[in-house]
Amino acid sequence: MAKAAVVLSPELWQIGHGEDHPLKPERLKRVYELLTAYDAFNGQNSRLVAPRPASRRELLLFHSEEYVDAVEALSRGDQTYVPSRYNFGPGDNPVFQGMYELAALKVGVALTATELVISGEVDAAFSPAGGMHHAAADHASGFCIFNDVAVIIHFLLAQGFRVAYVDIDVHHGDGVQNAFYDTDRVLTVSVHESGFFIFPGTGSTSETGQGIGQGYSVNLPLAPYTDDEVYVWAFEQVVPPVLRWFAPDIVVSQLGVDTHFLDPLGHLQLTTQGYAQAVSMICQQAPRWIALGGGGYEASVMPRAWTLAYGIMSGREFADEIPAAYAKKYGQLTLRDRTMPRIEASTKDIARRHAAKAIAELRERIPALRQ
């Protein structure tokens, strides 16, 4: 059985981006409650670990000094910095008190997970609070303030590890791709809803890296209404082969579950079963694994999906029937979806053709897929 840990603590759900913002802190509390209901942290092979904070020096592994200063000042109400210069303002990225501490703690969680994995204490570590894949070095983007993913990948590179990044959020992992676009030391792979239909608008098959990084950025964009069958088929054609080719020491993954058919932000139509199949394929290719959360804005979905994901990481099959106390409190009866999305045959056909076209383009453009 694999050794695994979840890094999570209540400070992560004390404050949030504001009442009407989709990234609700209670999401994490429910993940914690469901994992606890399953007695997921019951032995030597599976632990719950409290995070340490990230230092300013660690944030600077990816972020600019000016941006870190600006977030810190804005977070305590200091008006010296103009929020809009760093893409803060009403909407996706509001300024809120304590945002520096919260965003830095999320990076600290990812660093704690990283240290658990590289020390050999665990084979896989999961930070449900992480996966802030849109944040850029010098500005906030798409709910993301500090990019925990880019920071830990820099941290791993500094120690000589070969890192592959796999992003299965419904939104393209643009911030992480951009951070490592011109290097062959990191492979980035993102499977997402096409940027023609959804934020951030990037992630086409033609984005393949530059300079020596050419061929080390891989994007699989999918059409709205892509369901489990088409998704799993397309994923299998692309993700395991490029990971096998790259042969990483460590896989870092962003496991956003806003691909689910009930999610209010995306238009893909996955169930928790389809999602779990993708997570299993990542697991099979990961010698060591740092898993981060990500999007997922439907509270009835995310705790179930991430519990299934943690079961895969820790080599444990959780019973499908949700423990009674949690089931009663939230009205959720099973980990796996019983109600399926209804997709018309013609819509499914469009999604299948869209995926097949993207795969054909990738086979032309990505050397790893040509063998």
Residues tagged active-site: 134
**Which among 92, 91, 66, 93 is positioned nearest to 80, based on CA atoms?**
66
Q: Which stretch binds Zn ion (CB under 5 A): 69-77, 204-212, 291-299, 318-326?
A: 291-299
Q: Is 203 in the site for Zn ion (CB under 5 A)?
A: no
Q: Is 195 in the site for Zn ion (CB under 5 A)?
A: no
Closest contact distance (angstroms) between CB of 295 and Zn ion is: 3
Rounded to whole angstroms, the Cα distance separating 305 from 160 reads 33
Reported as type and span, the H/E element at residue 305 is helix 302-313
Nearer Cβ to Zn ion (207/258): 258
**Nearest-CB residue for Zn ion:** 295
Binding residues among 232-261 for Zn ion as defined by CB under 5 A: 256, 258
Q: How many residues bind Zn ion (CB under 5 A)?
A: 5
Binding residues among 292-331 for Zn ion as defined by CB under 5 A: 295
Nearer Cβ to Zn ion (193/227): 193
User: Between vectors from CA 176 to CA 35 and to CA 217, what angle results, nearest 5°?
Assistant: 115
Closest contact distance (angstroms) between CB of 171 and Zn ion is: 4
Q: Which stretch binds Zn ion (CB under 5 A): 62-70, 178-186, 287-295, 359-367?
A: 287-295
Q: Is 171 in the site for Zn ion (CB under 5 A)?
A: yes
Q: Which stretch binds Zn ion (CB under 5 A): 27-35, 55-63, 235-243, 288-296?
A: 288-296
Nearer Cβ to Zn ion (171/354): 171
Strand blocks (E) in 265-312: 289-292
Closest contact distance (angstroms) between CB of 66 and Zn ion is: 27
Q: Is 169 in the site for Zn ion (CB under 5 A)?
A: yes
Closest contact distance (angstroms) between CB of 108 and Zn ion is: 22
Give the other-Cβ count within 10 Å of 262's Cβ. 16
Strand blocks (E) in 55-159: 124-127
Largest CA distance in the chain: 56
Rounded to whole angstroms, the Cα distance separating 153 from 69 reads 22
Nearer Cβ to Zn ion (72/169): 169
Structure tokens at 326: 């949690």
Backbone angles phi, psi at 269, to 5 degrees: -125, 45
Q: Is 92 in the site for Zn ion (CB under 5 A)?
A: no
Binding residues among 256-285 for Zn ion as defined by CB under 5 A: 256, 258
Rounded to whole angstroms, the Cα distance separating 226 from 229 reads 8
Q: Are 35 and 29 in contact (CB under 8 A)?
A: no
Closest contact distance (angstroms) between CB of 331 and Zn ion is: 25
Closest contact distance (angstroms) between CB of 190 and Zn ion is: 11
Q: How buried is residue 227: exposed, middle or buried, by Cβ count under 10 Å (0-12/13-18/19+)?
A: buried
Nearer Cβ to Zn ion (4/255): 255
Nearer Cβ to Zn ion (262/327): 262
Q: Which stretch binds Zn ion (CB under 5 A): 164-172, 234-242, 273-281, 338-346?
A: 164-172
Give the other-Cβ count within 10 Å of 282's Cβ. 24
Structure tokens at 138: 């010098």
Closest contact distance (angstroms) between CB of 82 and Zn ion is: 27
Rounded to whole angstroms, the Cα distance separating 103 from 6 reads 18
The three-state secondary structure class of 50 is: coil
User: Between vectors from CA 361 to CA 355 and to CA 367, what angle results, nearest 5°?
Assistant: 125
Nearer Cβ to Zn ion (46/272): 272
Q: List interacting residues with Zn ion (CB under 5 A).
A: 169, 171, 256, 258, 295
